Amino acid sequence: MNITEYFSLLFTDYTLGVITLGTAVLGAVCGMLGSFSVLRRQSLLGDAISHAALPGIALAFLLTGTKQTHFLLLGALISGLLGTFWIKSIVKKTRLKNDTALGLILSLFFGFGMLLLTFIQKLPNANQAGLDKYLFGQAATLMVQDVYVMIGVTGVSLFVLLLFWKELKLLLFDPDYTLTLGFNTRFLDILITGFIVLAIVLGLQTVGVVLMSAMLLAPAAAARQWTNRLSVMIFLAAIFGAFSGVLGTAISASQNNLSTGPVIVLVAAGLVLLSFVFAPQRGLLARRVRFYRNRKELNLRKTLSVMYHIAQNHKDISHPHAIKILNNFHGYTRKTLNKLEEKNWVEIRGNQWSLTAKGYQEAENFYKPNEAIQDI
């Protein structure tokens, strides 16, 4: 199946439709909530939470004996929340730094989870296999009920986000100040972290424990490059996430033996790369272009300022001078001179140049100090 076949099948094949919708919704909710992680500089929290969810999955299986997604994800949710809680209290109550606490909990929970998984694999029970799909995810197992749950969670988190928009924005920017204005920052923190945990747990089935944090971070990091407005950033992150989900599913469905989760993550990473290079203003390319353009402009003005100093010695600013007196030391080339003429800053007659009134003004402004902010 190639990509075009995939897209024609998308609307006729039920399973494919469900999977695509699922990954799109997952990408959108992760992008939206991931923006908060990125802006709070808590990017690694998502990674720790997703790893902390693994023992919950294994324990849920051991306790219930079923592999029903909902039971397993409930286990994941509980152990993910427990891990998050531990991280926060380690940071609060000991002198350990945030990254240390994250690393500790991540490896502790993940190690315990792996231990349980190997234990389960040795059990004399026909029902055991398949839990390891939660390591890297398996989008093909998405059922329509799973997608309904995802849509439900996305709807609720969008509602809460809009409801507490002002408070959450304040918390992101300046938590101490938020507290002094009388808002309960603990409540806001629990609210936003709770939704992030929920989104991670929902993604485990599709993307898996190991790669889940990329779903949160990549769309948000890409979106940040394109805008300087929080609302636009969150919206873009959701779009990027959904796009990664759809394109990732399409690519993996049209090739054999490409699992969906990693492909989705790679697509998202591709978006990050594109954004870093091509975004206006913040992109590497735009900055490079700006640098060269500024340098060119500066060269022009350098030549102009030499002319300005020469012209200053005469009563008539437009007194003609020989081109010869300008030389390479002053950044002069024939091209520069033509550019200056194009801008109407100088006039060239034969092998003589003269400054125009406009050029004189321009050079004068060049020497004025920066527009200082108003004294009041």
Q: By CB under 8 A, name the binding residues for another protein.
A: 39, 41, 95, 163-167, 169-170, 172-174, 176-177, 179-183, 224, 227-230, 232-233, 372-376
Contact status, residue 276 vs residue 284, Cβ threshold 8 Å: yes
Residue 322 structure tokens: 């020989």
Instruction: For another protein, give the closer residue by CB, 175 or 270.
Output: 175
Distance CA 277, CA 286 (A): 8
Instruction: For another protein, give the closer residue by CB, 57 or 272.
Output: 272
Residue given tokens 């700006």 in the structure block: 290
Q: How far is the CB of 127 from another protein (least distance, A)?
A: 48
Q: How far is the CB of 174 from another protein (least distance, A)?
A: 5
Instruction: For another protein, give the closer residue by CB, 92 or 324.
Output: 92
Q: How far is the CB of 195 from another protein (least distance, A)?
A: 17
Q: How far is the CB of 38 from another protein (least distance, A)?
A: 10
Closest by CA to 265, choosing from 31, 7, 90, is 31
Q: How far is the CB of 169 from another protein (least distance, A)?
A: 8
Instruction: For another protein, give the closer residue by CB, 124 or 182.
Output: 182
Instruction: For another protein, give the closer residue by CB, 17 or 194.
Output: 194
At a CB cut-off of 8 Å and minimum separation 6, what does 264 contact?
23, 27, 139, 206, 207, 215, 244, 245, 247, 248, 249, 252
Number of DSSP helices (H) and strands (E) in the chain, helices first: 17, 3
Instruction: For another protein, give the closer residue by CB, 102 or 233.
Output: 233
Q: How far is the CB of 353 from another protein (least distance, A)?
A: 37
At a CB cut-off of 8 Å and minimum separation 6, what does 148 contact?
none
Q: Name the burial class of residue 113, with classes exposed (0-12), middle (13-18) and buried (19+) by CB atoms within 10 angstroms of its CB.
A: buried
Distance CA 167, CA 21 (A): 31
Q: How far is the CB of 194 from another protein (least distance, A)?
A: 18
Q: How far is the CB of 293 from another protein (least distance, A)?
A: 18
At a CB cut-off of 8 Å and minimum separation 6, what does 277 contact?
283, 284, 285
Angle ∠(100,105,108) on CA atoms, nearest 5: 120
Instruction: For another protein, give the closer residue by CB, 95 or 334.
Output: 95
Instruction: For another protein, give the closer residue by CB, 181 or 277.
Output: 181
Q: How far is the CB of 235 from another protein (least distance, A)?
A: 12
Instruction: For another protein, give the closer residue by CB, 11 or 173.
Output: 173
> What's phi and psi for 85, nearest 5 deg?
-60, -45
Q: Name the burial class of residue 351, with classes exposed (0-12), middle (13-18) and buried (19+) by CB atoms within 10 angstroms of its CB.
A: exposed
Buried b (16+ CB within 10 A) or exposed e, 191-212: bbbebbbbbbbbbbbbbbbbbb
List the strands of the sheet with 346-349, edge to edge.
Answer: 321-322, 352-355, 346-349
